[in-house]
Amino acid sequence: MALFQEKQYVGFATLPNQVHRKSVKKGFDFTLMVAGESGMGKSTLVNSLFLTDLYKDRKLLNAEERINQTVEIIKHTVDIEEKGVKLKLTIVDTPGFGDAVNNNECWKPITDYIDQQFEQYFRDESGLNRKNIQDNRVHCCLYFIPPFGHGLRPVDVEFMKALHEKVNIIPLIAKADCLTPNEIKKLKDRIREEIDKFGIKVYQFPECDSDEDEEFKQLDKELKECTPFAVIGSNTVVEARGQRVRGRLYPWGIVEVENQSHCDFVKLRNMLIRSHMHDLKDVTCDVHYENYRAQCIQEMTRCVCVSRKDENKYKHKYKYKQ
């Protein structure tokens, strides 16, 4: 009797290990969209974030070609492996956005693309073969804000309002090495005020659970306080204080990409890859895609009701003639 009163080990505590093994074997996928006008350092930042070269075949356009260019959607996919964990990374680039003289509805091809990915996933999910569904939904959009203005431009406001119900938007201040620390602080405060003023829904960091460790709580607090992230990208290795670091060399000194006193690059990378990648995917699936799915089902139900109503009307008319 005493034997059964002792706490027995059944084995279901190993379930997280089983899920981990299965997930690692299957691999992970993440789709990141980058948007902003040309010359904001989008491709350089992406290469810096993932330590890869996704744009080696890119053709650089001159000023006249950029003005006449329409908004395109270009996908770059690369398989990355780190310590046995595989990540299929898809970068969705939007060349031509914001470069024209008339930028009226220049975000339309981008919203159409996001909707197309939702539609394709909805079709695959409703089909017979649901085992190997490929998820091409956009999980996050990094939106690059120029550092030269005094806040958000009309095109910035309209773009984010057009997309905020469809994708997780993370605003960035591009080329932060153009500004002094005081100017960066003022610009961040101004952008935060305007985001609230215009009712723009950018990605909200989830609240920390009470049982989280203090280090994670502190990291979460720092991330919330430093948005929008002021970033610098560089694929060049320079020497600073006897060490080789990634940065930019100027006549007045060196800007280090991974120096947190110079920019928010490390915070952005930690948030995007190490701490919130899974939450970005969850919000995409549970909020943005579910809203799209509910809308589709409502439209399908309405079409069926209208069709039945017309059918009954036709039957009644035919019976009356008889």
Q: Is the pLDDT of residue 320 over 50?
A: no
Q: Hunting for tokens 């027995």 — which residue is that?
A: 8
φ, ψ of residue 30 in degrees (nearest 5): -150, 130
Other CB atoms within a 10 A radius of the CB of residue 258 amount to 15
3-state secondary structure of 163: helix
pLDDT tens digits, one per residue of 184-233: 999 999 999 999 999 999 998 888 777 777 777 777 787 888 889 998 88
pTM summary value: 0.82
Nearest alpha carbon to residue 271 among 200, 315, 316, 206: 206
242 vs 172, more confident: 172
How sure is the predictor about 112, in pLDDT bands with cuts at 50, 70 and 90?
very high
pLDDT of 294 higher than 80: yes
Residue (of 90, 136, 139, 142) closest to 117 by Cα position: 136
- Residue 256 vs residues 18, 48, 175, 235, 269: alpha-carbon distances, Å: 41, 12, 13, 11, 15
pLDDT at residue 287 in the model: 92
Q: What is the pLDDT of residue 261?
A: 82
**pLDDT of 1 above 50:** no
Query: pLDDT for 89-101, tens place per residue?
Result: 888 988 777 666 5
Tokens representing residue 100 in the block:
């024209």
- Mean pLDDT in residue range 67-92: 79
Per-residue tokens: 46: 């992406």
Confidence of residue 80 (pLDDT cuts 50, 70, 90): confident
Q: Residue 88's closest CA among 52, 128, 45, 124?
A: 52
Task: Say if residue 183 is exposed, middle or buried (CB neighbours under 10 Å; 0-12, 13-18, 19+).
Answer: middle
pLDDT at 73 over 90: no
Q: What is the pLDDT of residues 137-181, one digit of tens each?
A: 999 999 999 988 788 988 889 999 999 999 999 999 988 888 888
Tokens of 97: 């956005």
pLDDT at 188: 92
Sheet with 28-35: strands ordered across:
74-82, 85-93, 28-35, 140-145, 169-173, 229-230
H or E stretch including 141? strand 140-145
Q: For the sheet containing 243-250, what is the strand order? A: 237-240, 243-250, 253-256
pLDDT at 233: 82
Question: In angstroms, rounded to a whole number, what is the distance separating the alpha carbons of residues 142 and 46?
Answer: 10
In sequence order, the 6+-apart residues with CB closer than 8 A to the CB of 48 are 233, 234, 235, 246, 257, 265
Report which DSSP code applies to 285: I
**Rounded Cα–Cα distance for residues 146 and 159 (Å):** 14
More confident residue, 70 or 52: 52
